[in-house]
Structure 1
């Protein structure tokens, strides 16, 4: 499968190393097929497989809670203005981060009472956000996970009213949460093979909203082959 940056954020494409524009990637593909240019790089990478919606879904990034409200904010408030490229999602992310830094209730920061279970361990709380991804970096190069387990799914959850979030947020986004974030303070981050969420009504997968019909099961696929120019 050829990876072509053609979405709003191109987060998945960039995460797999596809830095060229869609037009440049297609031109490179044509030259390669004609024997006139170099072959693409071959990347093997797992996806997330989500069971519990109307259909089984696959993608690279799963989120609920504040992640979902941030995506909805972009589609409802920013996208209609005609903002192009990554600017709109980046502004939505910054708006959500600003709400987090204020440390007070905000419409962009809903909480969800649900039970999480990952690789045999259970956590139940009012969660501010839950995210999972097989990508090493997300929008704007953020890396908001710090699990050490040898598993392909990065998982992070933040409970309602986490302690000292304004002081810890930059470190968390830069992948340094292990030094500042503790589970007893409302922060979780693990590398998992499987995650089950009970009590979630809706979720985001690669920027698209889905309704959950039953407990959600998020697992990883075997590594899939991608071609990248």
Structure 2
């Protein structure tokens, strides 16, 4: 199923939603939810599945926005933020599992690069208020980032002791640091500043989604 077909299936959902519910949703969350659902077209979802997965992605985008707002108000630290994002990730993956067939979900689970790039894009979209035109290049950069550090990620998650994991983590962060400049040509100066202020969080979001196991 190509992105155009997925788009038709997802957009048809709006005709079924209660008007008040539609207005209650953030337009930014709707944009992100639709985009992420389109990027999952490799799963060859039916129209019904695409509609249901869109709802899940929309809820995840709204949850990320709520977490970000609460973090600003309550001055929540990075560790708590990572835990919050990881919980959203787990809930999203569990919900997606309920919709997909076993074959589809196995494909989703195995495609670590798209999974990690997708969730990082969700977080960046809400954190940086990405425009529609920025979503594609940001998603592509995130995919490239994961591909470039995949070996380091695999080493990190295969480390069998704390010392090995710490060494692998330092090497991974060094590799990720080299990729940060790729966003400079896509983001505005203000967005770039926010990105670099939250760069450790965004690196951890990518790492956690790539290696998450207990959400399946």
* Superposition TM-score, scaled by structure 2 size: 0.29
- Structure having the higher Rg: 1
Higher helix share: 2
